[in-house]
């Protein structure tokens, strides 16, 4: 059986249904993304990930959006509510060394807590620019200055790597300069490739040079480069990302059920287009019937390169016990940064979870 098929899907609740077990055993499915609705406690989420892992060997990738701030799926029962990445950027602007130390420490904390409950992948960090244009990005981004984003992303991903979790930079080639939200609209960026390279692409290219293990594509059209949204574009994924910039890591689509992905056609057409463009894994969230449609209509060939790229994302290294984690000086250091970065506004929008349902 192929270990990593090209589909990443979700599950409905706190444990698996019989239909979900059948779906996750399908060789075309290579990953599961979890949401807040799948989390009730650390004990429960650990049992759920163990149930998923037990279905196949090697197990499918288990992923979650655990950025901090507005987009953090697990944030109760011992999970630290992390500050948004924008707070790290603000700290970095005041005190560069403190910002870098905080970024590495919080990247480690986030990743360690995920490893302890059986999660392999966090879709973080956000590498988009915080230009005050995109509401859906906003303080999910580290900063406006690409140089600051690069420095903080290097530190954050180093913390994740230390904890045994691979980083996934998003949303390539940059979503921060477009006002429209791809969850509900069809964002278009009319700038030239040269302009985007000077600005939004800089953090991505810097992290590519340092081999960030995975990237997530943006559902944004850049008509001066290609007529298709980036995640469906052979120009962006194959010609530029793979050939021009020699990226060897895994490439994920954003959720193919989002409004911006609908321009390509039905769900099968979206999966076909994303994989034909060069993406390794296509996300289908909140529509299990669409997953079943794809599984019925398509059979996917084994792709050795995809297998290798995705295998690198499995969590690795020793998983600390709860007792060891609580007594680790790195935990105390990270909690000190959390306390320092707290703000009365931090929970003002705590009810907004992107792709929650």
How crowded is residue 319: how many other Cβ atoms within 10 Å of its Cβ? 15
DSSP assignment string, 171-207: EET--TT--S-TTTS--B----HHHHHHTTHHHHHHH
**Residue 309: its pLDDT value, please?**
96
Domain containing 233 equals 7-266+285-338
Angle at 121 between CA 209 and CA 143, to 5 degrees: 55
Quick check: 302 and 274 in contact, CB under 8 A? no
Residue 356 within any structural domain of the chain = no
**CA-to-CA dists, residue 42 to 107, 119, 148, 231, angstroms:** 19, 12, 34, 34
Q: Tell me how far apart the alpha carbons of residues 216 and 228 are, in angstroms, rounded to a whole number.
A: 16
- The CATH number that applies at residue 202 is 3.20.20.300
Catalytic site residues? Answer: 183, 254
Question: Is the peptide bond between 125 and the residue preceding it cis, with omega within 30 degrees of 0?
Answer: yes
**Residue 345 within a domain:** no
Domain-embedded: residue 277: no
Burial class (CB in 10 A: 0-12, 13-18, 19+), 95: exposed
The answer as to whether 271 is a domain residue is no
User: Nearest 5°: phi and psi at 278?
Assistant: 120, 5
DSSP SS3 for 275: helix
For residue 343, the model assigns a pLDDT of: 63
What is the reported pTM? 0.93
d(CA 275, CA 252) in angstroms, rounded, equals: 10
Query: What was the pLDDT predicted at 259?
Result: 86
| Per-residue b or e along 209-234, where b marks 16 or more CB atoms closer than 10 Å to that residue's CB | eeebbbbbbbbbbbeebbebbbbbbe
Tens of each residue's pLDDT in the chain, 357 residues: 457 999 999 999 999 999 999 999 999 999 999 999 999 999 999 999 999 999 999 899 999 999 999 999 999 998 999 999 999 999 999 999 999 999 999 999 999 999 999 999 999 999 999 887 767 788 999 999 999 999 999 999 999 999 999 999 999 999 877 766 556 567 899 999 999 999 999 999 999 999 999 999 999 999 999 999 999 999 999 999 999 999 999 999 999 999 888 999 999 999 999 999 999 999 999 999 999 999 999 999 889 999 999 999 999 999 999 999 999 999 999 999 999 998 634 443 433 334 443
Which three-class secondary structure state does DSSP give residue 86? helix
Domain count, the chain: 1
By the 8 A CB rule, do 206 and 148 touch?
no
348 assigned to some structural domain: no
Half-sphere exposure for 132 (CA within 13 Å, toward CB): 1
Residue 2 domain flag: no
Does residue 220 lie in a domain region? Answer: yes
């Amino acid at each position: 059986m192929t270990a990593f098929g090209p589909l990443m899907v979700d599950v409905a609740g706190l444990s698996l249904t019989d239909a979900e077990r059948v779906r996750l055993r399908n060789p075309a499915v290579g990953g599961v993304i979890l949401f807040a609705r799948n989390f009730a406690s650390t004990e429960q989420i650990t049992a759920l990930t163990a149930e998923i892992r037990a279905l196949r060997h090697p197990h499918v990738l288990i992923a979650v959006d655990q950025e901090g701030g507005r987009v953090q799926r697990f944030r109760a029962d011992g999970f630290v509510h992390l500050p948004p990445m924008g707070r790290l950027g603000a700290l970095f602007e005041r005190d560069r060394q403190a910002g870098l130390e905080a970024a590495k420490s919080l990247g480690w904390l986030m990743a360690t807590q995920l490893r302890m409950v059986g999660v392999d992948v966090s879709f973080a960090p956000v590498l988009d620019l915080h230009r005050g244009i995109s509401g859906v990005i906003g303080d999910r981004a580290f900063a406006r200055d690409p140089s600051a984003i690069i420095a903080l992303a290097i530190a954050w991903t180093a913390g994740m790597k230390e904890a045994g979790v691979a980083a996934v930079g998003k949303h390539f080639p940059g979503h921060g300069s477009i006002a429209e939200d791809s969850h509900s609209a069809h964002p278009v960026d009319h700038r030239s490739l040269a302009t985007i390279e000077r600005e939004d692409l800089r953090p991505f290219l810097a992290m590519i040079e340092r081999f960030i293990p995975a990237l997530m594509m943006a559902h944004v059209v850049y008509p001066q480069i290609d007529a298709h949204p980036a995640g469906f574009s052979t120009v962006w994924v194959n010609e530029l990302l793979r050939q021009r910039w020699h990226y060897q890591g895994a490439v994920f689509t954003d959720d193919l059920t989002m409004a911006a992905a609908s321009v390509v056609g039905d769900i099968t057409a979206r999966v076909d287009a994303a994989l034909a463009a060069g993406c390794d894994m296509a996300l289908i969230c909140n529509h299990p019937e669409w997953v079943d449609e794809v599984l019925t209509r398509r059979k996917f060939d084994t792709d050795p390169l995809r297998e290798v790229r995705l295998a690198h994302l499995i969590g690795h290294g020793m998983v600390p016990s709860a007792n060891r984690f609580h007594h680790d000086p790195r935990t105390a250091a990270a909690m000190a940064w959390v306390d320092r970065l707290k703000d009365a506004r931090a929970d003002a929008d705590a009810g907004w979870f992107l792709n929650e349902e």
